[in-house]
Structure 1
């Protein structure tokens, strides 16, 4: 039968693991949001379409979403992206197409 100390230690271990997972989730969410921003700017699409494109790139390349997001964010600074991600990103953006035209609205 567990003692109070064992139960307390188990509870502390569980809480520490939960804190670690929450910290990782916050970092992951930030990277994904940044990658969506890059896709939005690159493809001139809405944030919802940017999310869809990012998710589809992950699915079609069989690379975890967070890893794809990290590569896309890093590409913004390095200009380097693996060819399979570039090709899939281009395909997905072509499929979803720009939803907004860049530049000022037409004059009446």
Structure 2
């Protein structure tokens, strides 16, 4: 009689293929959610910088970030990180500065 490893006393049975697929899918979703939380935090911080420095409302700051991202073809998270860095260093990338200046003149 042949004994398999999962038949030994105290052995943990190997998960079924379906369970492995579910675990991998959940890991992927967790990773996506972690990225979303990080991106959301960066956008919120950038909005705060714009509100404080640019004297805009949070809604105007959000529009500024979103439209700057679209017009410069730079990911919203990256635009937000550049704005946060601007709040710390006082230096803003030229293309972001030009677009935000153009956009603020239309808000004004």
Give the TM-score normalised by the residue count of structure 2: 0.82
- Cα distance in 2 between the residues matched to 1:64 and 1:20: 18
Runs of 5+ in structure 1 lacking a partner? 98-108
Across the two proteins, how many residue pairs are aligned to each other?
Answer: 94
Runs of 5+ in structure 2 lacking a partner? 1-14
- Cα distance in 1 between the residues matched to 2:61 and 2:93: 19
Shift of 1:25: 0.4
Q: How does 1:10-25 map to 2 (within 5 A)?
A: 10-25=21-36
Report the counterpart of residue 59 of structure 2 in structure 1.
48
Give the TM-score normalised by the residue count of structure 1: 0.82
| Rg larger for | 2
Q: Say yes or no: does 1:88 pair with 2:99.
A: yes
Q: CA RMSD in A?
A: 1.1
Structure 1 runs, 4 residues or longer, greater than 3 Å off: none
What secondary structure sits across from 2:16 in the alignment?
helix
- Cα distance in 2 between the residues matched to 1:93 and 1:34: 19
Shift of 1:75: 1.2
